[in-house]
A = this chain, B = another copy of it.
Amino acid sequence: MSGAASYEPTERTTPTRARERAAYGHETVHAILDAGYVCHLGYIRDGSPVVLPTLYGRVGDRLYLHGSTGSRPLRMAGATPDPGLAVCVTVTHVDGLVLARSAFHHSLNYRSVVVHGTAYEVTDPQEKTSALDALVDHVVPGRAADSRPGNAKELAATSVIRLDLRDVSAKIRTGGPNDDPEDLALPYWSGVLPVAPVYGTPIPSDDLAPGIPEPAYLAAR
């Protein structure tokens, strides 16, 4: 990654163990974020941590999440006079199950990104529209342009929050098990079982108007 732009490691993004798995390059971080659409949003509610799965989109160095204007964390992010919600947003892809001879060395191959920061409500209408397009396009690339855009009522009912990618890092594990040398001759199978999300045959709505073909971007998924 030498020469490429990187996020600055911070106290929070510098691991105390397995440092070789940490990565900060823009390209690496963005690729992991762009490969997904569900993040786990962490925030504090009444002094306790809460973790919720939710959709996200990325535009440049900004992550966008959305929800109903009635949703608790989104209300907190836009609260006046003291807006901003301390969050941690984590995106994880599991790539393989790592089976070692020893139970101890079992592991996963994965790619994850953890973003720390303060999320703020997006109030600029143009930024909000772009963010919502990015959210839809994360789920199915190309879909935002092939659906009815939000109308004024829908936009008013939807809150979008923004989280800058600054205090951010990726973590990646690849390869086989790291068994201890003295375990290599044990009579247990060892290796990696690859895993990936696979998309099935699209199921059209029962009430789909006749003559509407299956869009090409679905096949690309």
Task: From known contacts A40-B40, A139-B108, A212-B188, infer whether A86 and B218 are also in contact, taking CB-CB under 8 Å.
Answer: no
Q: Please state if A86 and B48 are interface contacts (CB–CB under 8 Å).
A: yes
Q: Please state if A201 and B194 are interface contacts (CB–CB under 8 Å).
A: yes
A80 interface residue per 8 A CB criterion: no
A187 interface residue per 8 A CB criterion: yes
Q: Please state if B195 and A207 are interface contacts (CB–CB under 8 Å).
A: no
Q: CA–CA, A188 to B147, complex, Å? A: 6
Interface residues on A, range: 35 or more
Q: Please state if A205 and B186 are interface contacts (CB–CB under 8 Å).
A: no
A1 interface residue per 8 A CB criterion: no
A→B interface (CB under 8 Å):
12, 16-17, 38, 40-45, 47-53, 55, 68, 70-72, 86-90, 92, 94, 96-97, 99-104, 106, 108, 110, 112, 114, 116, 132-133, 136, 139-140, 143-144, 146-151, 154, 158, 176-177, 179, 183-209, 212-215, 218, 221
Q: A176-B205, A190-B208, A193-B221 are in contact. List 5 more A-B contacts (CB 8 A).
A: A40-B40, A52-B90, A103-B147, A106-B136, A192-B203
**Which 4 A-B residue pairings sit nearest by Cβ, starting from the closest?**
A194-B200, A42-B51, A40-B40, A42-B49
